[in-house]
Structure 1
Amino acid sequence: MSSILFWNCRGARKKEAALYLKELIRDHDVCFVGLLETKLTHIGRKEVDYLIGNSWDYFHVPAVGLSGGMVVLWDTRCVSFIVKSNSSQVILGDLLIPKMGLWKIATVYGSRCCNERDDLWRQLEEGLKEPLPSIIGGDFNCILNKEEKRGGKRFIFSKGPREMKNFMTNSDFHDIRSIGPKYTWCNNKEGTSRIWERLDRCLLNSIALQMIPTAMTMHLVRVASDHCPIAIKLDRKIQINRHNIKFEDTWRSYPAARTIVYQSWSKNDFGEHCEILQRKNHRTLKALFFWSKCKCKNLKTLKEELKKEIIELQKKEMDGVNWTKDDLTLLRSKVHELNITLN
């Protein structure tokens, strides 16, 4: 199944964020990404290639100073996206998905000020009038009930959550069930000052729910940011044609790769010079590819085990049952170990 991903990455230039984003895209077969709080005043083709790869197109809303900023990215090999409207709080457009048709996708980075979020609800109401399947995802900076918060001040059903509820009711959007950690954000403070909240979510309208009746939001492991990435799976797997094997820069860091290149290149060949060159290139890339698959198999198993351990520790931390300083030290150690394996 292909997925749509939203993530408040707290800075898109961080090496850890780029590595984790690529990992998420591979693991969850992601075709569309909404990145929030990128802290980028400008982004170009070179930065996008480093962040996610050269097959992805993008649209950027710049940050103001050192805060904010959004960028949406889509894999041009399998989907197309046209931006219809944008502001500092939302990028809204049409995502064309093979065999699933046209979808409205809104990537949201809600203001912390509930008065400013009034503009967000108006923009969404205006942009999502058409009777099309629609998904709104991102960081709303708003919680809807006391169960979505732990620590800090007591939850009050004030103007902010009340207006968000009104928007959802009036515009026929529904908060779907989620799996993974209960909360999507943590302030990372110590002791009684620590706060968890569910600030990030996906909302679907009734038409989208009819097309994806088993829809759920996945709250993924919190790494490289204080927010969990959230993903929603689509019903069908989008096929991407991959006919070519491409050289991976990471191969250069392994001494074994040099031996493979030497052995593949030194084999005797015949024919025209251009034919020999073509066959040597193909033979070398193929050998490197299968070596890499074998080598990465164990690494992938290690990463999956680390992710499971991290998410269990994060759940235990959120529940606050039998949580100790040793558990916190172990959690930090596992996150550090995962970041190393992503390099």
Structure 2
Amino acid sequence: MQLFRDVIDECGFIDLGFIGSQFTWQKHFANGHSIWERLNRGLANNDWFMQFARTKIHHLSSNASDHCPLWIIPDGLEIPSITKPFRFEEMWLSDRGCTNVVESVWTSHKKANPSIKVIKKIKKCGKELQDWNRKHFGNVRSKLEKKRKLLREAEEEAMRSRVNFRVRELKKEIDELVDKEYRMWFQRSRVLWAANGDKNSKFFHCCATQGKRKNSILKIRKANREWSLNMDQVTETLTTYF
């Protein structure tokens, strides 16, 4: 540890401070005893610090590791928000309210042209599900954020009281919400072998955003066993066949 401190002094590194819990590592025991330490921290030299003097480092909570991740926000960095289109989420099926919303819309009797009646019901069903999701089921990420905030408060209380039962209870609730989040990314990624236990949501996210590339037809074999290698030839081969 002393050699590590010597390297920090030799390089002129500055501790950038933090926002959040004062500890970044924790260990909880079944008897209620806990250990807390600040092991992870952000360091920078003077030149970097002068350019990004208002950089903030947040200590985030983690239910998958005993180390807290560090979220570093350099001064001036803005992340634009993205409005997402409506999509039915498979994780909604775990709540009876989803079935009630669909049944209510589908059994409603409103006068309409038979040719567009089904289309209108589908659109109304989507709108009602969005409202239900926002008011009752709730956004998984929003719930995770609230639970993690409660977890931070519970951890602070556990440091004072030396009792971690509330911390362990909240961690269990967070695990359930994280499982719903995994199911969401599983649906979007369309990776069938995810059922075998792989729960890397970052990987699923990459697969979901690259689905269009996977579905592209770059070449196709003709009836005479020759390959069509460009898009014009592929189009001609498909048109001729069908």
TM-score after normalising by structure 1: 0.41
Question: Is 1:333 matched with 2:151?
Answer: no
Question: Is 1:292 matched with 2:133?
Answer: yes
What's the Cα RMSD here?
3.8
Structure possessing the higher radius of gyration over alpha carbons: 2
Structure number with higher helix proportion: 2
Question: Is 1:225 matched with 2:65?
Answer: yes
- Shift of residue 207 of structure 1? 6.7
CA distance in 2, matches of 1:270, 1:334: 51
Using a 3 Å threshold, how does the CA distance of structure 1 residues 243 and 282 change in structure 2: closer, same or farther? farther
Amino acid at match of 1:183: F
Using a 3 Å threshold, how does the CA distance of structure 1 residues 189 and 163 change in structure 2: closer, same or farther? farther
- Shift of residue 305 of structure 1? 6.0
Amino acid at match of 1:197: E
Using a 3 Å threshold, how does the CA distance of structure 1 residues 189 and 285 change in structure 2: closer, same or farther? same
- Shift of residue 178 of structure 1? 0.4
CA distance in 1, matches of 2:84, 2:155: 40
Count of residue correspondences: 175
Using a 3 Å threshold, how does the CA distance of structure 1 residues 205 and 240 change in structure 2: closer, same or farther? farther
Structure number with higher strand proportion: 1
Amino acid at match of 2:79: I
Using a 3 Å threshold, how does the CA distance of structure 1 residues 208 and 285 change in structure 2: closer, same or farther? farther
Provide Cα deviations, 1:180-207, integer angstroms capped at 9, x if missing partner: 222211244578x965432323345667
Aligned partners of 1:175 and 1:203 also within 8 Å: yes
Provide Cα deviations, 1:71-105, integer angstroms capped at 9, x if missing partner: xxxxxxxxxxxxxxxxxxxxxxxxxxxxxxxxxxx
Gaps of 5+ in 1: 1-156
CA distance in 2, matches of 1:271, 1:339: 46
CA distance in 2, matches of 1:282, 1:205: 56
CA distance in 2, matches of 1:309, 1:241: 27
Give the counterpart of 1:200 among 34, 40, 46.
40
CA distance in 2, matches of 1:315, 1:222: 15
CA distance in 2, matches of 1:250, 1:270: 33
Aligned partners of 1:176 and 1:203 also within 8 Å: yes
- SS state of the match for residue 103, structure 2? helix
Amino acid at match of 1:336: K
TM-score after normalising by structure 2: 0.55
Using a 3 Å threshold, how does the CA distance of structure 1 residues 330 and 257 change in structure 2: closer, same or farther? closer
Correspondence for 1:250: 91
- SS state of the match for residue 7, structure 2? helix
